[in-house]
Amino acid sequence: MRTWTLLRRSLSHYWRTNLAVVLGVATATAVLAGALAVGDSVRESLARSALQRLGRATHAVESTRFFREDLAAEVGERLGGSGAPLMALPGLAADASSGRRAGDILVYGVDARFWSLHALPDPDLKGREALLSEALWSELGSAAGASVLLRLESESEVPGSSLFGTRDAPAHSLRVTARGVLARARLGDFALRPARDEVRAAFVPLSLLQRSLHVPGRVNTALLAAPGDDDARLGATLREGVRLEDLGLRFRVLESAAALQLDSTSALLDDATARAARGVAAAHGFQVTEALTYLANTIRSDTRELPYALVAALDDDALQTLARRDLPSDGDALLLNEWAAADLDAAPGQGLELDYYVWREKGELATLGASFRLAGVLPISGLAADRDLVPEYPGITDAPRLSDWQPPFPIDLRRIRRRDEDYWDRYRTTPKAFVSLRKAQELWGHRLGRLTAMRFRAEPGVDLPAVGARFAEGLRAALTQPGAALAAGPARIRVENVRAAALRAARGSTDFGEYFAYFSVFLVAAALLLAALFFRLGIEQRQREVGLLCALGFSAARLRTQFLGEGAALAAVGGLLGAAGAVVYAALVLWGLRSLWSDLLPTSELTLHVAPRSLALGALGAVVAGVLAIVWTLRDVQRLSVRALLSGSRE
């Protein structure tokens, strides 16, 4: 009898026992391959959900400060794609009629360019109209036409850790009218960051948000739909398009002072920017004057005191030029303008005390003091009358009167006299005192910067605007060269491949295929053990047949090969049936994840996605394990004699 004939007839004759073996392997295959299919489905569903929230955006240019809204279109055009400016701010919302609130929301300022980038119809938001995402609309319980109060969080331009910065993030209130719901299909769930929960967002006109924050023509995000995935090229393109103002820097031509000046929207120039500016100045042959401006609570002489005076610290060359003589190198020299000297009734050589505020590391405001010696009295002219030395301090430099000051630190308005108001009316931010830059940096230097302004003087008679343009371009190139990576300046601009980030987040740190496979290992082992036991039972029931085959000359090796062939065939059939069952198993698990265990995943929109590779791997793994289990059952075949086998003895 041929081997194949014996194999076929044995499989059909002992079909009841063999069916149990097939079902065991099929169960193991269904569980193992189904677990891998669940992993595929979760990954694909999360990736689809994350990409749907991004629309057609592939990259995002983001900054801690505001930059030109035109930067989005400029970079998009250079890449051969499109770009759209976007204002994205966290905040909270409250329905004015019901009083219901929603925290941790996103407020987007958008215009027609946003909808065009995503190839969506423009809802044409007007005035104070707003569209709410489905989740926010449901949480607030709003109706069309309802008044919604948005409270926006926006970083202060001036660092909160400095004296003139707001310690807490300033909040801006904005009342809008809810026009309706923005469906998910129309990007109502738009989000640049993968989120576990549903997106609660409000979409308002970009111009409205810019007016509310007093940043016309500026945004903090630019969306790009760029072809390809060349992040290096995109970064280089961004460097080419960035201007100094996008980095939070102000570069001005001061015709009255015949100089160029660099300062910052944050009121501090960081060390990297200062180094780059010095290098560009040296290359162009400019003379540099460096300044640090601070506010003294009090300048005190023996008998009088002067409240709230701006003090400008200058480098040694500028300070000695201002004094028109050499000053002591100990840094204790102080120059007063003639108004302040007369008010204090101070004469050169007299000692002066200066009190000032500093923020401690733990957030405590402390009053410290320093001693100086009056080295001279200056007329209010030239550099001593230059109010441009002082940067813009919100609540101080923009106040019409001293009594209208609203600084982020306590002041006693009762100390302000009529003559102080007169000085402000006439001279505004003109410093009343001048000290050494080295001394001032010891007292008031900050980790984010130790200068507030840098002034550059060219040779007399040059075309200052033209020279200024070349200087600005040189500084821009120095700050955006590879290695600087747009990290210089108060604004940290970065570009991120949001599409790639969404896909990485969708994969996550947990492989749900492996996760469910681990949890199913006992069920797989039990199914394989059951299949092996049934196969062993079948072998034991066929002892007389085995004895007869041995008597006819079949060797033990040939018998094991025969039974192993039967086992492999049964395992293969079980693997094929199990592959079909894996689809059913995966569908059941996904139903459970959508309903019973919905809190395990950041989305309930799970759909079945079966990769052929996962089915093949699951089936192959179960079949191989089944064959190994069957091999294990055949280890005793050669241990019984022919006589014992023919007699049916199992001892």
pLDDT, tens digit, for every residue of 407-420? 888 888 889 999 99
Higher-pLDDT residue of 546 and 300 is: 300
Contact 607, 52 (CB under 8 A): no
pLDDT, tens digit, for every residue of 233-267? 777 888 888 888 888 899 999 988 889 999 988 88
pLDDT-based confidence at 481, cuts 50/70/90? Answer: confident
pLDDT, tens digit, for every residue of 70-112? 988 888 888 777 889 999 999 999 998 888 999 889 999 999 9
Show the CA angle centred on residue 444, arms to residues 441 and 447, nearest 5°.
Answer: 80
pLDDT, tens digit, for every residue of 427-455? 999 999 999 999 999 999 888 889 999 99
pLDDT-based confidence at 490, cuts 50/70/90? Answer: very low
pLDDT-based confidence at 354, cuts 50/70/90? Answer: very high
Q: Residue 458 has what DSSP assignment? A: -
Show the CA angle centred on residue 59, arms to residues 609 and 179, nearest 5°.
Answer: 85
> What is the mean predicted confidence (pLDDT) over 549-571?
63
What is the overall mean pLDDT for the chain?
Answer: 80
pLDDT, tens digit, for every residue of 321-332? 888 888 887 789
Give one word for 569, left, alpha or beta, with left for phi > 0 and alpha for psi -120 to 50.
alpha
- Please count the CA atoms within 13 angstroms of the CA of 538 that sit on its side-chain side: 27
Does the global pTM surpass 0.85?
A: no
> 68: part of which helix (H) or strand (E)?
strand 59-68
What confidence score (pLDDT) does residue 559 get?
62
Higher-pLDDT residue of 641 and 182 is: 182
> What is the mean predicted confidence (pLDDT) over 583-601?
65
pLDDT-based confidence at 485, cuts 50/70/90? Answer: very low
pLDDT-based confidence at 488, cuts 50/70/90? Answer: very low
**CB 462: neighbour CB atoms within 10 A?**
12
Between β-strands 259-264 and 453-457, what pairing exists: parallel, antiparallel or unpaired? Answer: antiparallel
Lowest mean pLDDT among 18-32, 46-60, 302-316, 513-527: 513-527
Q: Which residues pair with 249 in a beta bridge?
A: 264
> What is the mean predicted confidence (pLDDT) over 565-580?
67
CA-to-CA dists, residue 268 to 97, 162, 274, 471, 574, angstroms: 44, 9, 10, 20, 73
Helix (H, G, I), strand (E, B) or coil at 4: helix
Rounded distance between C-alpha atoms, residue 497 and residue 567, angstroms: 52
> What is the mean predicted confidence (pLDDT) over 602-631?
64
Has residue 169 got a pLDDT over 80?
A: no
- Share above pLDDT 70 across residues of the chain, in percent, rounded to a whole number: 70
Rounded distance between C-alpha atoms, residue 78 and residue 234, angstroms: 9
Sign of CA dihedral 38, 44, 45, 46: positive
Who contacts 541 (Cβ-Cβ below 8 Å, separation ≥6)? 14, 17
What confidence score (pLDDT) does residue 629 get?
64
End-to-end CA distance of the chain: 30
- Please count the CA atoms within 13 angstroms of the CA of 325 that sit on its side-chain side: 9
Q: Residue 317 has what DSSP assignment? A: H
* Residue 136 dihedral angles phi and psi, to the nearest 5°: -70, -40
What confidence score (pLDDT) does residue 489 get?
43
* Residue 95 dihedral angles phi and psi, to the nearest 5°: -80, 125
